Structure 1
Amino acid sequence: MPEPFEILRISEILAVILDGLQDDKKSLYHMSCCCRAFTDPALDILWRSMHSFAPFTLLIPQSASFVNDAPTSDCDLLKYRCNPLDDWKTFDKYAARVWSLRIGEYNNDGADLIKNWDCYTRLTVIRGQEEFHPFPKLRSLAYVLSGPIPPASEAISPLPTISYPPPYLKELRIIGLMRTMRTLHSTPQLQFGQIRSVDLSKAYIRAPELAALCTLLSHAPVSDLKIHLQDRLNMNWQAIPPMFPALKQSDVRGSMFSVILFMSRLAATNLHTLVFQPDGQPSGVAAFFDHLIPIIVEKLGKSLKSFDLHINEPRPHVRDSDLIKSILQGLEPLVEAGLQSLRLFLQVDSTMSVQFPPEVQSMLKPCAWPSLKQFRFTTKTTALE
């Protein structure tokens, strides 16, 4: 029978143990130090998911210390010759282990945010000249721009590595306010070869940034998209190429007006799941249904099988039966086009338990939708103040 220590030399068993420790950074560190056989496997798990770029600033070669210095233009960076690979040996040893990276941590005065953004940007520029990304195995990338950002950071690009995308990136997430897109306008032809998931649900995106981002990602093989659209985005949607042809499921939130314009530019032909949560006046929701549903039917009628509609804010009153009827009637063309699952969530204002008029109740029974395989209607009552 093998000794206990010999069992840990079996790579499959060691991998299971280390996976169980992935949230225990201290134990992983001790494992990497206690035995040479454990060092690389433990370090792989320890550095696989990084919630900050800060640890990498200490690994940059001293000869490339300007990366952390005062602002440097992209032109100056492109003139810089990358140090010999030996100088980057320590940095690459750890960066090559990273699969998930979060960029954009900051302190109260924004100094760390600026430092880490600029440092990461410059690294991708100087090393990208030789088509070498600092994090070659990166699969998931999150840009975090949440909270108050000082005026000094206005010049920061929210997507500094867009010119040199990680070769195997599959997930992109952006959180917070996107201020500028200085690296996007010059490289709209670049495509993310393997990206599958884009999450913009917690990003505040203005019209110029959204136009540039959608143009950049218009032909990417994105199959899962979450996005929050601001009200009345003043942009030339017709100038944006048809977007997201590979999209299969999407969660769209925000202004009904903006959603209509956004949906009109979708190129998806196989989108099967759509979650929609509109903002705006309740009466506007019903009015815009006359414009939105025909667009969805025209573009997605043959592929869409599941539709979730969440009407949370502002809240209609439970007695507003005409509004609720118009919402349900507005969904009928979508059901007739081949929808299989319909889930409707309605948050209403009421001083008592929800009790709809009989004509509305009859429309909320599954038997009223015989062609659907699943029909679910849910309400949440909020007492009027």
Structure 2
Amino acid sequence: MHRCLHITHILYDIASNIYGHVDPLSTKNLPGLRQARADLASLARTCRTFRDPALDVLWSFLTSFHPLIRCLPQDLWVKDDGGSLVFTRPLSSSDWVIFQQYAQRVRIFGRYQDPFLFEYIGYDVLRTLSRFLPDGGCFLPNLRQLNWSQPQDHMCKSSDTDYFLLLPLFMGPHLTCLCLESGLCVRTGLPSEPSTSALSIVPSLHASSPLIKNVECMGASEKITQSISESISQWPLLEYVEAGALSQHAIAHLCSLKSLKHLGVHLDQEGHHTHAKFPPTLESFKIVAQSLTACRQYLEDIHLTCGHLSIQIVSTEFSSASSFQQFFSFLSSHLSASDLHTVKFVYHRPYDGGPVDWSLETLRPLFVFKNLTTFHSSYYCATKLSDAD
């Protein structure tokens, strides 16, 4: 064997390149993904030299807990009448060793906006496995990124099944990226609300995962947002944050961080308000609101010196050109005139509203931003701009 193949990094690069242009976390090219995983499995069986690098890459991206159960001895599990995996005998120490051999290789668990982390897995199976964990231990000890989507209520076999209670069992010491999403309640169409006991564990997530840099809490209820605010207030290395209306304590903590590069705020209703002066290290700010009014209310006592600003309005009310002009004028008094260079403005208008004529006067308030080079708008409007303008 060539001596280059004795270098671990080269072996790992060879295994990683088998994926090619296929994204292991995407659903766009499933045949290509299945072929790449089959090739990695074949490479792992080729010789001992390739075994560990190939298995590391093969198990590094996991979108479901299902493969970890199926890697256990076949006399341990079986599919019940509903298609879920259940244990047929007690779990032994040797079974747990096999589980650990694969679980320790996982670096990314879950796919964005995919609520099937535990599909076809009996809740008792997960509880049985958790009994083998040491105090403070987790299922995936080397996990770096967790994309946690709460299963929708119709996926749970019983009303007392709260998968959110399992979240701490995936918060390892090496975790740096956390994405929390709430499933939708079929009856109301609103985000599912975890139980009181589940909500009580969210404020202490920072204790088991102190190295978090990226946090996304999307589509979550106000209770979850307030709970995650407590942990956000304790993470000192945050760089990227997207969440709902965080508490004033969490906002104050973010303002004190020199590491923070991006902040996204998603408002589900009007009336949210905060006070903040973010450091110049903040590179981009994003706000999603239900109306221009809600956006203004939140930004009223905020000062930004970032270079990128993204505004997304999901409105049910029709707005005139003068309303946009007033809003742009409002922005000019709350953002640094010298730092802003990119503005992305997305306005989801009502279906019964016609186009609005934007003239040079509509955009004139933005002229105070001397270094503004890009203004992107996806709003359906007719622009009355001449060559001279």
Aligned to 2:210: 193
CA gap 1:88/1:27 in 2 versus in 1, 3 angstroms: same
Distance in 2, Cα, partners of 1:375 & 1:242: 30
1:308 aligns with 2:287: no
Distance in 1, Cα, partners of 2:165 & 2:52: 31
SS of the equivalent of 1:44 reads: helix
Amino acid at match of 1:219: Q
Distance in 1, Cα, partners of 2:171 & 2:139: 10
Q: How many residues align?
A: 336
Question: For 2:98, which of 84, 90, 96 is the aligned residue?
Answer: 90
Question: For 1:249, which of 262, 287, 290 is the aligned residue?
Answer: 262
Question: For 2:358, which of 330, 350, 356 is the aligned residue?
Answer: 356
Contact 2:12 2:57 in 1 (8 A): no
Q: What is the CA RMSD across the aligned residues, in angstroms?
A: 4.0
* Greater mean alpha carbon deviation, residues 14-23 or residues 153-162: 153-162
Higher fraction of helix: 1
Aligned to 1:133: 138
CA gap 1:358/1:169 in 2 versus in 1, 3 angstroms: closer
Question: For 1:55, which of 67, 90, 93 is the aligned residue?
Answer: 67
Aligned to 1:76: none
CA gap 1:90/1:190 in 2 versus in 1, 3 angstroms: same
Contact 2:4 2:10 in 1 (8 A): yes
> Shift in Å at residue 146 of structure 1?
5.3
Contact 1:162 1:183 in 2 (8 A): no
SS of the equivalent of 1:322 reads: helix
Contact 1:143 1:159 in 2 (8 A): no
Aligned to 1:218: 233
> Shift in Å at residue 188 of structure 1?
3.6
Amino acid at match of 2:154: I
Instruction: Please give the residue correspondences for 1:200-239 in structure 2 after superposition, counting only pairs within 5 Å.
Output: 200-201=217-218, 203=219, 205-220=220-235, 221-228=237-244
CA gap 1:158/1:357 in 2 versus in 1, 3 angstroms: same
Distance in 2, Cα, partners of 1:217 & 1:63: 44
For 1:329-353, what per-residue CA distance to the aligned partner results, in whole angstroms no more than 9, with x for missing partners? 110212357642341424457756x
Question: For 2:179, which of 173, 179, 182 is the aligned residue?
Answer: 173
Amino acid at match of 1:35: C
1:278 aligns with 2:289: yes
CA gap 1:187/1:227 in 2 versus in 1, 3 angstroms: closer
Question: For 2:39, which of 27, 30, 38 is the aligned residue?
Answer: 27
> Shift in Å at residue 35 of structure 1?
1.6
Amino acid at match of 1:46: L
Contact 1:321 1:356 in 2 (8 A): yes
1:292 aligns with 2:298: yes
> Shift in Å at residue 249 of structure 1?
0.7
Contact 1:345 1:378 in 2 (8 A): yes
Distance in 2, Cα, partners of 1:239 & 1:358: 41
Aligned to 1:372: 371
SS of the equivalent of 1:32 reads: helix
SS of the equivalent of 2:164 reads: coil
| Runs of at least 5 residues in structure 1 that lack an aligned partner in the other structure | 71-81
1:334 aligns with 2:334: yes
SS of the equivalent of 1:334 reads: coil
Distance in 1, Cα, partners of 2:202 & 2:318: 45
Aligned to 1:18: 15
Distance in 1, Cα, partners of 2:381 & 2:128: 51
> Shift in Å at residue 47 of structure 1?
0.7
> Shift in Å at residue 378 of structure 1?
2.1
> Shift in Å at residue 183 of structure 1?
4.0
| Runs of at least 5 residues in structure 2 that lack an aligned partner in the other structure | 20-32, 78-84, 184-191, 383-389
SS of the equivalent of 1:255 reads: coil
